[in-house]
A = this chain, B = another copy of it.
Amino acid sequence: MRELKQITVIGLGLLGGSVGLSVLRAFRAVKLVGYSHRPSTRQKARQLAVASEISDCLRESVVNADMVILATPISTFEQILTEISDWLPKGCIVTDVGSTKALPHKWAQKILPKDVHYVGSHPIAGSEQRGVEFSRDDLFEGAKCVVTNNAKTDVEAKKRVSDFWKRLGCSMIEMSPAEHDRIFAKVSHLPHLTAASLINANDIETLKFSGRGMIDTTRIASGPENVWSDIVMANSANLAKGIEKIINELERVKRAIEKKDKKSIEEFLAKARIKRAAMMNYKIENKELES
């Protein structure tokens, strides 16, 4: 496998830019090349110095890369992999920061040459903000990061990718792409859809009365729709199932409300409070959150 001398980040939004800044901070000896298909983004990225070098050409950006990180919306992965496939050096590692992992694995396996190694990554970091101007060199500090692999994944490549994210401050978890997508449908993609539903069910005159609760509950609905529609499309089966589960919960509490069954309502709310407390305690004990 190749020594890590050049890393190329394709896509310079909040995540790609933050990978750039974090690499520049954590890997002093590595050359960090950035690419975005938008000239205006390349210009901003140059001004903000999120990379050692911003390339104007996708293929040129990868010809000397020891590691390539895709940080564009998931729907672009297939085409980007196709475009760069013949230009990747032997032994190069390709990874990504996409929020779903089954499709990226499928595309990588179909498109990439045998002597290039693909490992999936999903750093659990970000915000509802978008754009290279929100990049931070500490975005991954203290974050969880999932690496995904299948039976064909090169063990050494997986270790390299894992070590890479650790160096940026992440704590690592390994799982299969399918397990990843099942879990993150539930704890990330589904909350996004319920947040959007809460907003869409109301008119703006009503929303003016929102307090801190409604504001926090719907924060993620401010995320960019092009990124999120890709995620939803790429995880459609898990999400259709997940929506059904949420509807079942809502139907259950609606029945209790209609029957004026206070005991069931209180049990429903108590169950959520207790389970959420367990979740928060786990997060605090794991130092993922401040207590």
Instruction: Report how far A211 CA is from B262 CA in the complex, Å.
Output: 32
A77 within 8 A of B: no
Whether A275 lies near B207 (C-beta < 8 A) is yes
Query: Which residues of chain B have C-beta atoms less than 8 A from A247's C-beta?
Result: 247, 250-251
A221 within 8 A of B: yes
A210-B283 contact given A240-B254, A244-B254, A258-B236, CB 8 Å threshold: yes
Please name the residue on chain B nearest to A217 by beta carbon.
B191
Give the number of residues in A that approach B within 8 Å (Cβ atoms).
Answer: 86
Whether A266 lies near B225 (C-beta < 8 A) is yes
Determine, out of A6-14, A25-33, A160-168, A197-205, the stretch whose residues face the partner at the interface.
A197-205
Whether B210 lies near A270 (C-beta < 8 A) is no
Instruction: Report how far A243 CA is from B239 CA in the complex, Å.
Output: 20
Copies of the polypeptide in the assembly = 2
Report A222-260 residues with CB < 8 Å from chain B CB.
222-226, 228-229, 232-233, 236, 239-240, 242-251, 253-254, 257-258, 260
**A214 CB to nearest chain B CB (Å):** 5
Query: Which residues of chain B have C-beta atoms less than 8 A from A211's C-beta?
Result: 124-125, 144, 187-188
Query: Which residues of chain B have C-beta atoms less than 8 A from A273's C-beta?
Result: 196, 221-225
Instruction: Report how far A204 CA is from B229 CA in the complex, Å.
Output: 27
A278 within 8 A of B: yes
A97 within 8 A of B: no
Instruction: Report how far A113 CA is from B70 CA in the complex, Å.
Output: 71
**A7 CB to nearest chain B CB (Å):** 24
Instruction: Report how far A153 CA is from B20 CA in the complex, Å.
Output: 63
A265 within 8 A of B: yes
Q: List residues of A whose CB falls within 8 A of some B CB.
A: 124-125, 127, 144, 173, 183-184, 186-188, 190-202, 204, 206-226, 228-229, 232-233, 236, 239-240, 242-251, 253-254, 257-258, 260, 262, 265-273, 275-280, 282-283, 289
Q: With A202-B275, A207-B282, A229-B266 given, can you name 17 additional A-B contacts, CB distance below 8 Å?
A: A183-B209, A188-B213, A193-B253, A197-B253, A199-B271, A201-B246, A204-B275, A204-B279, A210-B283, A215-B283, A217-B218, A232-B253, A233-B260, A233-B262, A233-B265, A239-B254, A243-B251
| 15 sampled A-B residue pairs with Cβ under 8 A | A125-B211, A173-B209, A188-B211, A192-B213, A199-B271, A199-B276, A200-B249, A201-B249, A207-B278, A215-B279, A217-B217, A221-B269, A223-B273, A236-B260, A246-B250
